[in-house]
């Protein structure tokens, strides 16, 4: 029999891992790994631009050349794209995708671009400004939420199923 023949549909499966009906919070070390991947990707653009400008422009005196500037501008564009727009639409950054994590609203809904920008470009600097205590909160709180998550009303969960 099919659904058209009157059988009820099975319940829709969530994309996030659940255990006993609850979303599984992302382990702190995995979150750190995801953040590291994101920032390595950004810094590599600046490094590549700097190396290219030094190779083409004649050494250290060529600092600030167009290749170096292009690398910096590309890194800024990638930061907005990878840390704001893509997570706002999908819940993933490059690092979160690579580590199997997803950013969601507290109620399980989609993040949204505004909330993603708030989380990363307001919440992260505040967490840094407090000597990193905003990040440590994610390791010691029951729900695994850092200051940036609390500010934006988000939670980072494991992606997939058990």
- Tens digit of each residue's pLDDT (9 = 90 or more) over 117-130: 999 999 999 999 99
Q: Is residue 1 part of a domain?
A: no
Q: What are 158's two structure tokens?
A: 């494991």
Give the chain's largest Cα–Cα span. Answer: 76
Spatial contact of 85 and 94, defined as CB atoms under 8 Å apart: no
Q: Is residue 65 part of a domain?
A: yes
What's the CA gap between 108 and 123, in Å, rounded? 20
Q: Is residue 5 part of a domain?
A: no
Ramachandran quadrant class, 11 (left: phi over 0; alpha: psi -120 to 50; beta: rest): beta
* 7 or 140, which is more confident: 140
What's the CA gap between 110 and 127, in Å, rounded? 23
- Band (69; pLDDT cuts 50, 70, 90): confident
- Band (150; pLDDT cuts 50, 70, 90): very high
Burial 82-92 (b: 16+ CB within 10 A, else e): bbbebbbeebb
Q: Is residue 15 part of a domain?
A: no
Angle at CA of residue 120, ends 117 and 122, nearest 5°: 85
Q: Is residue 99 part of a domain?
A: yes
Domain of residue 69 covers 23-158
What's the CA gap between 103 and 124, in Å, rounded? 14
Q: Is residue 18 part of a domain?
A: no
The rounded radius of gyration (Å) of the Cα atoms in the chain is: 20
Residue with structure tokens 């920008």?
Answer: 117
Q: Is residue 9 part of a domain?
A: no
**Tell me: the pLDDT tens digits for 22-50?**
678 899 999 999 999 999 998 998 888 77
The yes-or-no verdict on residue 8 having pLDDT over 70 is no
């Amino acid at each position: 029999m099919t659904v058209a023949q009157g059988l009820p549909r099975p319940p829709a499966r969530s994309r996030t891992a659940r255990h006993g009906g609850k979303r599984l919070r992302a382990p702190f070390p995995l979150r750190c790994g995801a953040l590291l991947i994101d920032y390595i990707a950004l810094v590599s653009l600046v490094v590549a631009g700097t190396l290219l400008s030094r190779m083409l422009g004649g050494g250290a005196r060529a600092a600030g050349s167009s290749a170096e500037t292009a690398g910096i501008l590309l890194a800024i564009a990638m930061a907005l794209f990878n840390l704001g727009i893509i997570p706002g639409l999908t819940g993933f950054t490059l690092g979160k995708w690579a580590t199997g994590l997803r950013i969601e609203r507290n109620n399980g809904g989609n993040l949204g671009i505004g909330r993603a920008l708030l989380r990363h470009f307001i919440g992260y600097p505040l967490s840094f400004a407090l000597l990193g205590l905003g990040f440590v909160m994610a390791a010691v709180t029951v729900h695994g939420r850092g200051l940036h998550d609390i500010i934006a009303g988000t939670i980072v969960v494991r992606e997939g199923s058990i």
